[in-house]
Amino acid sequence: MSATATSLPDATWKTEEVRVAGHPVRLRTSGRGEPLLLLHHDIGTPERLPFYDALAQHFTVHLPSHPGYDGSERPAWMRSVRDMAVLYQLLIAERGWETPSLLGLGFGGWMAAEMASMAPRGFRRLILVNAMGVKPARGEILDQALVSYIDYARAGFEDQSAFDRLFGADPPTPQLEQWDLNREMTFRIAWKPYMYNPTLPHLLSGVSTPALVVWGRRNRVVPLECGEAYARALPGARLAVMDGAGHCVEVEQPEALMRLVLDFVAGG
């Protein structure tokens, strides 16, 4: 990958399967320190990213594959993002993690926000990065049903060369099939309303968990106004806008994002 990858210290990840509510959840773990649950995008996630490795230098990072994504078993019964959020609450209970921090990327940010609303004292910190989940008042959340797998993934990048480095300029067919499966699972749990929960902002107003909201100023998937809405809804949240970045800031600017996270942790 990019030069950023080699500049970061190496991290060891282990993969295991955890049964939660009778369903096998694939969980990858690395690092040391306080537990942090890292929730990935709707297009799935590579097994490793420099940003994940960097997080693992400061936290014990737990990165589940959302059930039904990236080849993990599909829970056929699941119907909503809140279902997924509850499943992760059960995962936390099963593993006995004490007040973990939550970091959600995009679609995973929506899950993290739902989780915070369910357990207002259950989390140390909440970090939402370009999160879906709230309805934009003026703009729209990009409808992936209308664009190809590649175009949708590319829309997440302000810097197209960052996409090329991660997925290849012309991603191979197995990647397309995986994106299709991930998209199908997204449709199963987030079809209507598409990519938001109208009750979420109301519920978030009761969440006092220290929160950082990070947005790429050039986000073409979820408009910046959604970040502003999150920052308004969450008491005491801080909004950090990253210039020159899109929806996948963790790939485009991992070091800058990491600095924001560390500043937030030091301040909190």
Taking the complex as a whole, the smallest distance from the CB of residue 146 to other proteins amounts, in Å, to 7
Report 10-49 residues binding other proteins (CB under 8 A): none
Q: Establish if 150 lies at the interface with other proteins (CB under 8 A).
A: yes
| Cα-based distances in Å from 228 to 2, 8, 26, 41 | 31, 31, 33, 20
Q: Does 184 bind other proteins (CB under 8 A)?
A: yes
**Does 168 help bind other proteins (rule: CB under 8 A)?**
no
Which of 165, 188, 220, 232: binder of other proteins (CB under 8 A)? 188
**Residue closer to other proteins (CB basis): 94 or 187:** 187
Residue pair 190/182 in contact (Cβ under 8 Å)? The answer is no
- Return the residue of 177, 243, 255, 263 that touches other proteins, per CB under 8 A: 177
In the bound state with other proteins, the residue whose beta carbon lies nearer, of 68 and 122, is: 68
Token couple for 156:
């997440």
Q: Supply the minimum distance, in Å, between the C-beta of residue 183 and other proteins.
A: 4
Stretch that binds other proteins, among 81-89, 107-115, 155-163, 175-183 (CB under 8 A): 175-183
Q: Is 73 in the site for other proteins (CB under 8 A)?
A: no
For other proteins, the binding residues in 120-149 under the rule CB under 8 A are 145-149
Q: Tell me the HSE value of 193 on the side-chain side, using a 13 A CA sphere.
A: 13
Tokens representing 8? 């970061």
Query: β-strand 211-216 against 238-242: which pairing, if any?
Result: parallel
The reply on whether position 154 binds other proteins by CB under 8 A is no
Burial class (CB in 10 A: 0-12, 13-18, 19+), 74: middle
Rg (CA), the chain: 17
- Contacts for 112 with CB less than 8 Å, ≥ 6 apart: 37, 39, 102, 103, 104, 126, 127, 128, 131
Q: What is the distance between the alpha carbons of residues 64 and 218, in angstroms, rounded to a whole number?
A: 28
Closest contact distance (angstroms) between CB of 175 and other proteins is 9
Q: Which stretch binds other proteins (CB under 8 A): 3-11, 19-27, 43-51, 178-186?
A: 178-186
Q: Smallest distance from the beta carbon of 237 to other proteins, in angstroms?
A: 32
Binding site for other proteins (CB under 8 A): 145-150, 173, 176-177, 179-181, 183-188, 191-192
